[in-house]
Structure 1
Amino acid sequence: MQPCSSNRLLYTLRILFKRQDSLKAIGRYCFATSSSDVDSTPTVTAAHPLRGVRILDMTRIISGPYCTMVLADMGAEVIKIERPFYGGDEARKWGPPFLAESKDATYFLAVNRNKKSVAIDLKRGKEIIYELANKCDVLVENYVPGKLAKYGLDYEQLRKVAPQLIYCSMTGYGSVGAYAKRPGYDVIASSMAGLLHITGERDGPPCKVGVAVTDIATGLYAHGAILAALLQRERTGVGQKIDVNLLSTGVSLLINVATNYLNAGVEAHRWGTAHSSIVPYQSFKTADGYLTLGTGSDEQFKELCKLLQITHIAEDAKFKNNRDRVTNRQELVALLASILAEKSSKSWMQQFEGASFPVGPVNNIREVFEDEHLQAIGLVKTLKHPKDGSVKVVGPPVVYSESRNDARTAPPCMGQHTDEVLTQLLGYSVEHIAELRYKKVIE
Structure 2
Amino acid sequence: MRPLEGITILDLSRVLACPFASMILAELGAEVIKVEQPGTGDETRSFEPKMQGEGGDVSAYYLAFNRSKRSVTVNLRSEQGQAVVRQLAAQADVVLENFPVGNLRKYGLDYPSLSAINDQLVYVSCTGFGMTGPYAQRKGYDTVFQAMAGIMSLTGERGGGPVKPGLPVADLSSGLWVAIAVLTALTGRAKSGKGSHVDFSMFDGQVGLLSLAAARWFALGEVPERLGTEHPGRIPSAAFVCGDGKWVQITGSDQHWAPLCNLLGLEAWAADAALAKNAERLARREEVMAGLQAAIARLDRDELCRRCDAVGVPAGPILQVDEVLSNAHVAARGMVVEYPHPQIGSFRGLRIPFRFDGFDDPEVQRPPLLGEHTDEVLRERLAMSVDEIQRLRADGAI
Query: Equivalents in 1 of 2:103, 2:310: separation in Å?
Result: 56
Aligned match of 2:73 in 119, 134, 151? 119
Shift of residue 332, structure 1, vs aligned partner: 1.1
Query: Equivalents in 1 of 2:298, 2:42: separation in Å?
Result: 50
Contact residue 184 and residue 246 of structure 1 kept, 8 A: no
Aligned match of 1:93 in 36, 42, 46? 46
Contact residue 92 and residue 107 of structure 1 kept, 8 A: yes
CA RMSD, 1 decimal: 1.4
Task: State, as a whole percentage, how many aligned pairs show the same letter.
Answer: 36
The answer to whether structure 1 residue 235 and structure 2 residue 191 are counterparts is: yes
Secondary structure at the aligned position of 2:100 is classed as coil
Query: Equivalents in 2 of 1:97, 1:307: separation in Å?
Result: 48
The answer to whether structure 1 residue 434 and structure 2 residue 390 are counterparts is: yes
Name the stretch that deviates more: 273-282 or 204-213.
204-213
Q: Aligned in 2, Cα 1:310/1:273: closer, same or farther, shift over 3 Å?
A: same
Shift of residue 97, structure 1, vs aligned partner: 3.4
Q: Aligned in 2, Cα 1:438/1:75: closer, same or farther, shift over 3 Å?
A: same
Q: Aligned in 2, Cα 1:341/1:381: closer, same or farther, shift over 3 Å?
A: same
Q: Aligned in 2, Cα 1:102/1:410: closer, same or farther, shift over 3 Å?
A: farther
1:300 is matched with 256
2:245 is matched with 288
Contact residue 93 and residue 105 of structure 1 kept, 8 A: yes
Query: Equivalents in 2 of 1:66, 1:355: separation in Å?
Result: 39
Shift of residue 318, structure 1, vs aligned partner: 5.6
Residue-pair matches, total: 394
Q: Aligned in 2, Cα 1:355/1:407: closer, same or farther, shift over 3 Å?
A: farther
Shift of residue 95, structure 1, vs aligned partner: 0.3
Secondary structure at the aligned position of 1:353 is classed as helix
Query: Equivalents in 2 of 1:300, 1:325: separation in Å?
Result: 13
The answer to whether structure 1 residue 393 and structure 2 residue 346 are counterparts is: no
Tell me the alpha carbon deviations over residues 290-345 of structure 1, each in whole angstroms, 9 at most, x when there is no partner.
0001112x220111011112121123366231111111111111111122122321
Shift of residue 219, structure 1, vs aligned partner: 1.5
Contact residue 58 and residue 80 of structure 1 kept, 8 A: yes
Aligned match of 2:310 in 350, 354, 358? 354
Secondary structure at the aligned position of 2:123 is classed as strand
Query: Equivalents in 2 of 1:330, 1:93: separation in Å?
Result: 49
Tell me the alpha carbon deviations over residues 400-429 of structure 1, each in whole angstroms, 9 at most, x when there is no partner.
111123233111111111111111111111
Secondary structure at the aligned position of 2:34 is classed as strand
Tell me the alpha carbon deviations over residues 64-115 of structure 1, each in whole angstroms, 9 at most, x when there is no partner.
0111111111100000011112x21122222023343342210111111110
Q: Aligned in 2, Cα 1:407/1:179: closer, same or farther, shift over 3 Å?
A: same
1:25-424 equivalences in 2 (<5 Å): 47-85=1-39, 87-100=40-53, 101-124=55-78, 125-286=81-242, 287-296=244-253, 298-316=254-272, 319-424=275-380
Secondary structure at the aligned position of 2:346 is classed as strand
Contact residue 235 and residue 278 of structure 2 kept, 8 A: yes
Query: Equivalents in 2 of 1:122, 1:232: separation in Å?
Result: 30
Query: Equivalents in 2 of 1:355, 1:186: separation in Å?
Result: 41
- TM-score normalised by length of structure 1: 0.86
Listed as ranges, the gaps of 5+ residues in structure 2 are none
Q: Show structure 1 runs of 4+ deviating over 6 A.
A: none
Query: Equivalents in 1 of 2:158, 2:238: separation in Å?
Result: 13
Name the stretch that deviates more: 101-110 or 149-158.
101-110
Q: Aligned in 2, Cα 1:313/1:52: closer, same or farther, shift over 3 Å?
A: same
Listed as ranges, the gaps of 5+ residues in structure 1 are 1-46
Contact residue 155 and residue 228 of structure 2 kept, 8 A: yes
Contact residue 57 and residue 344 of structure 2 kept, 8 A: no
Name the stretch that deviates more: 170-179 or 101-110.
101-110
Q: Aligned in 2, Cα 1:263/1:299: closer, same or farther, shift over 3 Å?
A: closer
Please tell me the residue identity of whatever aligns with 1:330: E
Shift of residue 393, structure 1, vs aligned partner: 0.8
Shift of residue 199, structure 1, vs aligned partner: 0.5
Contact residue 113 and residue 407 of structure 1 kept, 8 A: no
Please tell me the residue identity of whatever aligns with 1:157: S
Q: Aligned in 2, Cα 1:102/1:165: closer, same or farther, shift over 3 Å?
A: farther
Shift of residue 183, structure 1, vs aligned partner: 2.1
Tell me the alpha carbon deviations over residues 324-371 of structure 1, each in whole angstroms, 9 at most, x when there is no partner.
111111111111112212232122122222332211011011110111
Contact residue 381 and residue 407 of structure 1 kept, 8 A: no
Contact residue 259 and residue 311 of structure 2 kept, 8 A: yes
Tell me the alpha carbon deviations over residues 39-76 of structure 1, each in whole angstroms, 9 at most, x when there is no partner.
xxxxxxxx111110000011111110111111111100
